[in-house]
Structure 1
Amino acid sequence: MQTLIPGGDLAGREPLRRFGSELRSRREEQGMSLRKLARLVAYSPGWLSRIENAAAAPTIKLAELCDRALLAGGELIALARDAEPAPVTHSVLPAQLPRPVSPFVGRTAEFRTLDRIHSRASLDGRGLTVAIDGPPGVGKTALVTGWAGAASHAFGDGVLYEDLQGYSSRGAPLDPAAVLKAFLFALGVSERVIPEGIQQRSAMFRTLVSDRRMLVVLDNAADSHQVAPLLPGAGTCSVVVTSRRRMSGIAARSGAFRIALEPMSPGESLELLALVVGRERVRAEIEGARALVLRCAGLPLALRAAAERLTASRHRSLGGLAQELAGPGDADARLDLLTGGDGLTVRESFEASYHQLDAESSRAFRLLGQMPGEVVGTADAAALLRRPKAQTRRLLEVLIGVNLLAEVGPDQYLMDGPLALFAEGRAVAEGPFSVRLAQEASG
């Protein structure tokens, strides 16, 4: 294992300096170039140079090879043992879960499913592996953090958490190598012995957690490729992954149990609305509340944003906000009504997924949004998109795979609520509405 050493930690670097100095002295005494020594020991000249300059830690294997090549009589091996640091410098109990969403409503069935999977895995002496996917704003993070917080007593060795920013307006998805470095550091590994390569970091991570009762939460994953290096190996460590994308690769690779998180029921939506706005206000405007719940299509993010807007104005009625969302009017302006007081915006949540679509898929998304609340089949969609049925089916599968279209039955698809508003807004923004649709329909 090759290990780069960052600056600082002078006391820890002194054994490295002694080894590097001895290696250079013996090499120069024999008139041997770095390139020749590199050929003899099958390491790169650049790596040997780092070791001679105390910028990298020698392994015992490399020390043995150098000792033999330079006839050092075991001196280099002894110095390498002195320089070899303990991989874990302190014992820690990570507790990295973010603050749970409050108030939290519903998801009783999903909590029970997670409890059941965890109980079954514990009886088998192994960790659970669960992949949770669902549309933007459906509450995947709230579900996982809520369940993990309630079940944290079952993970006696701690909880690791990272938002992988797979669908984020803040920037690109996180590099798995950087996530592994953070996890290893949280587990007590000295920064100066964390390996440079992602494969070596992944191997060290799997080794450290293999016999621990830990939970690793990988939130907001971009795809299976981002997650794969972060998965614990076989053992007692558990992992929960959330993503807007169906994580079929993880399920195939690790046998993960999949939970497809759907929008909340009307009853759960009303309960969430009542907890934020106030029960008396909801009771007094029950029909308006039901209409608002319908317009938010069971998405907790949209419901919270609507509720925050209502709490900011006691004179605004629930039914009035529902009517504003229903239109008529500019779709973008109506979607802007679902912006919370803290800047929480439904639009940003959708945009992060939309901008990852290719041209054909984004075109299909925009056109399907012109049939809000209508269940369509493949034949209807093919006629709307002016594409062959086989191509249309593939496009529908792409949108379903990233949860920008709901599959509500055999050959039945639906786009509704705020998502349909967003699609309509995109159709207008990316060209004159009537002209754009006419052009796209003619293909």
Structure 2
Amino acid sequence: MTVHQQGDEGADSGDARVPPGRQLPTAGEYVDVQNTVVAAVLPGVVTQAHTINTVNIHHHPPAEAVRPVPRQLPATLPGFVGRTAELAALTSALEQQADGGTVTIAALTGAGGIGKTCLALHWAHQHAHRFPDGQLFVDLRGFSPPGQPMPPEAAVRGFLDALGADPARMPRDLHAQAALYRSLVAGKRVLIVLDNAATLDQLRPLLPGTFGCMVVVTSRLRLTGLVTTHGAHPIQPEVLTPAEAHHLLATRLGADRVRAEPDAVTGLLAACGGFPLALAIVAGRARSFPRTPLATLAAELRTAVSGLDAFDNIDPATSLPAVLSWSYRALTAWQREAFGLLGIAPGPDIGLAAVASLTAQPPAPARRVLRELEEVSLLEHDGHGRWRMHDLIRADATAAAERDLTDEIRAAALRRVVDSYLHTAHAADRLLNPHRQPTTPAPAAAGSHCHDLTDHAAALAWFDAEHTNLLAAQRAAADHGWHRAVADLAWTLVSYHDRRGHLQDRITAWQAVLAIPAPVPAAMRIRAHRHLGRAYADLGRPDAAIEQLRRGLVLAQDCGDRTQVAHCHRDLGSAWGSRGDNRKALAYATQALALFRALGSPVWEANALHQAARYAVHLGEHDTARAHGQAALALHRRHGNPAGTAAALESLGVLEHVSGNHDRAVEHYEQALALRRELGDSYRCAGTLDQLGQSLAALGRHERARAVWREALELYREQNRGGDSERVQQRLDNLGACDDSGGHPTLDEGTVP
């Protein structure tokens, strides 16, 4: 600053006047005077020998006292790959700085080993030129080998030293040090990387106060408070994609070595699950032993006793178990128990009712501990009421459960969650198919919680969300010898598997029942044979189906179980129909019809009627087919059975189609399709669409036929129904050829998918 002062003849020659509002130079400033001689410069006083014409007061020290420009960024790791979205988010945060006029903060949060520090440093080096006044870095040791996180006083003092603050005049109080730190970076462009933060309190003294600086924080905590109170930009790095993980190995090991063992590389990538530290450990080990085949490393990962054993290392910083253990040690005793129990829970993810059952807590505290584990990045929430762990974190949780929880605690928790799944599935099945013969599972263990289901749609959605977990729960029950739960879970899944076409899963579930050691109740074995037979028939394996159903029939007859005898006859009709023997199929269906009538089971009587109608159509017995089909439709409607109503309508549609009444066939098919869509019966929707397309094509309505066949083709492919997919694709090709030639397609008149 320049201060102009006119000479004053009456003034004391030793007094230097300063304009009003401008204080005298302070300690740390210096002056030079033009057209005069300065005798001395002291803090707060300027003395001179003559009248001062111009005094220049500067805020920067002489050249020899210029403060250093810190360049503290550690080196980045070689072979950085991916992270395009995260890098762009960091850059976007920087470029938005001008709009807000405040300090920019980006918070990189996630699990230990996910690559937060590597990402932060990679970006920081890329953009260091945009911060000419320096780059500061500190490892706050929030989650590090045994020891306490770095006190904020130590971190602030380190930054003050780096910025050239005078040690002799350093304030002792943290607040004063933080104020001095903010003063030194005020108005400057400094990048500040705060790595491995433990708490928000640890960060606050290190945050600049004015526009121009940017702060990049990394932490295993979600740091919600930093986002809420300081406007930080939250960025949560995910695991690497398969392509990125493959690129990382190729970059670290060389493309030739990776290309030479593709199967081994696939195994390595699967074991690492895109987890950056795991990939780095594998790559480092492979580079350290260049003569060791990658297949050997892959086998080591595959056969390790614990999921993390193969990622261990002497150096804690490069040992995945050690890195993850630092998060575990920071948990409370209750959080540790919940973390361990979540590790042994069946299935890849979990909902709130299952967590409440697992932990024997009401839903509110169960939700709270989930949020606490999510906050330290040991758990991920999908935003729709589901929580999951990365496979490697789950392996750590499982190891913690086996190490820190007793066998009794683990078994009791697992039983509660199995019962939670079983009893909710039982309620869901009753909503999907209330006309099934009811069963009653054993009472649930104390502390189990069921998910509340209100209607058919909620039941179907719950099954969709929990299907994989239900299969895992059945396996867990089998492992623990809870045989009744194994059978009851298989039973509760029947309607869902039927609607969604999970044929192989249906086979697996009932094979688990047959694998139960003797003695097994006869009713349980009969059901297992029956449902295996039905699944084999639907899969196009009629001989295997007939074998299972005959076994079931013999058992049912020996036990005198007339209801199961009737069901076995009906299912044998389906099996012989899938084999192409419509005469035998009709005979079994007719026998089932008589048995259900004798039992007074009108809904099952209706099911046998529309089944018999199908086989009568194929045999050319149209009058019989029409009578059976109409009788079935009336019974299903009378008893409020929409699934059976759809089946009867489809049977009548087949009859009208082969009779040449294609308009009537379309009407029946469309009504059946609407009902099946409401039921979520995607498996049978595919067949109905397939047949609807045939009738539409016969009417020359090619565009509509093409649309429904394309939808059928998509469903067939989703359901892995290869033969059906090929047939519909051929029909679409033929339809296209007809459009080109003006002809008509050749239809499979009378065939039923």
Q: Quick check: which has more Rg, 1 or 2?
A: 2
Change (3 A) 1:168 1:90: same
Q: Mean alpha-carbon deviation: is it higher for 210-219 or for 286-295?
A: 286-295
Which residue of 2 is the match for residue 31 of structure 1?
none
Tell me which of 58, 61, 67 is aligned to 1:91.
Answer: 67
Paired residue for 1:380? 354
Q: What corresponds to 2:179 in structure 1?
A: 203
Q: Residue 118 of structure 1 contacts residue 127 of structure 1 at CA under 8 Å; is this kept in 2?
A: no
| Aligned residue runs from structure 1 range 272-421, under 5 A | 272-314=248-290, 316-327=292-303, 330-331=305-306, 334-339=307-312, 344-371=318-345, 374-421=348-395
Q: Using the alignment, how far apart are the partners of 1:412 and 1:318 within structure 2?
A: 36
Deviation of residue 413 (structure 1)?
A: 1.4
In the alignment, is the contact (CA less than 8 A) between 1:164 and 1:173 conserved in 2? Answer: yes
Q: Which residue of 1 aligns with 2:670?
A: none
Q: Is the 8 A contact 1:306 1:340 kept in 2?
A: no
Q: Which has the higher contact order (CA 8 A, sep 6+)?
A: 1
Identity value in percent = 36
Using the TM superposition, give the Cα deviation of residue 108 of structure 1 relative to its aligned residue in structure 2, in angstroms.
Answer: 1.3
Aligned mate of 1:422, from 384, 396, 399: 396
Say which is worse superposed, 147-156 or 382-391, in terms of deviation. Answer: 382-391
Which residue of 2 is the match for residue 183 of structure 1? 159
- The within-5 A match list for 1:87-126 is 90-122=66-98, 125-126=101-102
Report the secondary structure of 2:204's partner residue: helix
CA distance in 2, matches of 1:207, 1:144: 25
- Residues 375-404 of structure 1: CA distance to partner in whole angstroms, max 9, x if unpaired? 211112222222222111111111111000
- For 2:100 and 2:355, the matched residues in 1 are separated by 46
Quick one: which amino acid aligns to residue 377 of structure 2?
Answer: N
Q: What is the aligned partner in structure 1 of residue 223 from structure 2? A: 247
Structure 2 match to 1:64: none
1:229 equivalent to 2:202? Answer no
In the TM superposition, what whole-angstrom CA distance separates every residue of 1:202-221 from its partner, at most 9, and x where no partner exists?
A: 11111111200111111000
CA distance 1:409–1:437, shift in 2 (3 Å): same
Residue 153 of structure 2 aligns with an amino acid whose one-letter code is: A
Query: Which amino acid is 2:104 matched to?
Result: L
Tell me, in whole angstroms, the C-alpha distance in 2 between the residues paired with 1:381 and 1:141.
32
Distance 2:45 2:204 in 1: 34
Give the superposition deviation at 1:245: 0.1
| Whole-Å separation in 2 of the counterparts to 1:371 and 1:101 | 36
| Matching residue's letter, 1:216 | I
More helix, by proportion: 2
Whether 1:174 and 2:150 are equivalent positions in the alignment is yes
Q: Which amino acid in structure 1 is aligned with residue 156 of structure 2?
A: L
Q: Please say if residues 106 and 235 of structure 2, whose CA atoms lie closer than 8 Å, have aligned partners that are also in contact.
A: yes
The residue type paired with residue 277 of structure 2 is L
2:241 corresponding residue in structure 1 = 265
Q: What is the CA distance between 1:325 and its match in structure 2?
A: 3.2
2:121 to 128, 145, 153: 145
Q: For residues 350 and 155 of structure 1, what CA distance do their matches in structure 2 show?
A: 34
Q: 1:379 to 1:268 in 2, by over 3 A?
A: same
Say if 1:316 and 1:440 are closer, same or farther in 2 by CA, change over 3 A.
Answer: farther
SS at match of 2:87: helix
Go from structure 1 to structure 2 and tell me whether the alpha carbon gap of 1:107 and 1:305 turns closer, same or farther (over 3 Å shift).
same
Gaps of 5+ in 1: 1-58, 61-77
Cα-to-partner distance string for 1:279-306 (whole Å, 9 max, x where unaligned): 2232233233233222212211111111
Q: Distance in 1 between matches of 2:45 and 2:159?
A: 26
CA distance in 1, matches of 2:355, 2:153: 42
Residues 122-177 of structure 1, C-alpha deviations (whole Å, 9 max, x = no match): 45554421111011100100011000001000001010110000101052111111
Contact 2:187–2:210 (8 Å) recurs in 1: no
SS of residue matched to 2:194: strand
Q: 1:372 to 1:440 in 2, by over 3 A?
A: closer
- CA offsets per residue over residues 250-292 of structure 1, 9 Å max, x none? 1122111111111111111111112222222322332332332
Alpha-carbon spacing, 1:292–1:349, altered in 2? closer, same or farther (3 Å):
same
SS at match of 1:403: coil
Q: 1:315 to 1:383 in 2, by over 3 A?
A: farther
Deviation, structure 1 residue 321: 3.6
Q: Per the alignment, do residues 288 and 274 of structure 1 end up closer, same or farther by CA in structure 2, a change over 3 Å counting?
A: same
CA contact (8 A) 1:373 1:417 kept: no
1:373 Cα deviation from its structure 2 partner? 6.4
Q: TM-score, normalised by structure 2?
A: 0.45
Question: Aligned equivalents of 2:253 and 2:344: distance in 1?
Answer: 32
Q: Give 3-state SS (helix, strand or coil) of 1:309's partner.
A: helix
2:189 alignment partner AA? R
Taking a change above 3 Å as real, the CA distance of residues 396 and 215 of structure 1, as seen in their structure-2 partners, is same
Check whether the contact 1:296–1:303 (CA below 8 A) recurs between aligned residues.
yes
Gap change, CA 1:427 and 1:288, over 3 Å in 2: same
Cα distance in structure 2, aligned partners of 1:406 and 1:158: 36
Q: Give the TM-score of the pair, scaled to structure 1.
A: 0.75
What secondary structure is seen at the aligned counterpart in 2 of 1:239? strand
Change (3 A) 1:80 1:176: farther
Structure 1 residue 195, shift from structure 2 partner: 0.5
Unaligned runs of 5+ in 2: 1-25, 28-41, 47-58, 417-446, 448-753
| Structure 1 outlier segments of 4+, above 6 Å | 78-82
SS of 1:166's equivalent in the other structure is coil
Change (3 A) 1:395 1:326: farther
CA distance in 1, matches of 2:299, 2:354: 29
1:293-326 deviations in Å (ceiling 9; x for gaps):
2221221111111122223334654455445434
Which whole-Å CA distance do the structure 1 matches of 2:300 and 2:237 have between them? 28
8 A Cα contact 1:308 1:340, kept in partner: no
Preserved CA contact (<8 Å) 2:149 2:198: yes
Distance 2:209 2:239 in 1: 33
1:17-56 counterparts in 2 under 5 A?
none
Q: Are the structure 2 counterparts of residues 251 and 425 from structure 1 closer, same or farther at C-alpha, using a change threshold of 3 Å?
A: same
Q: Distance in 1 between matches of 2:45 and 2:332?
A: 54
In structure 2, what residue type is equivalent to 1:193? Answer: R
Cα displacement (A) at 1:187:
0.7
CA RMSD of aligned residues (A): 2.7
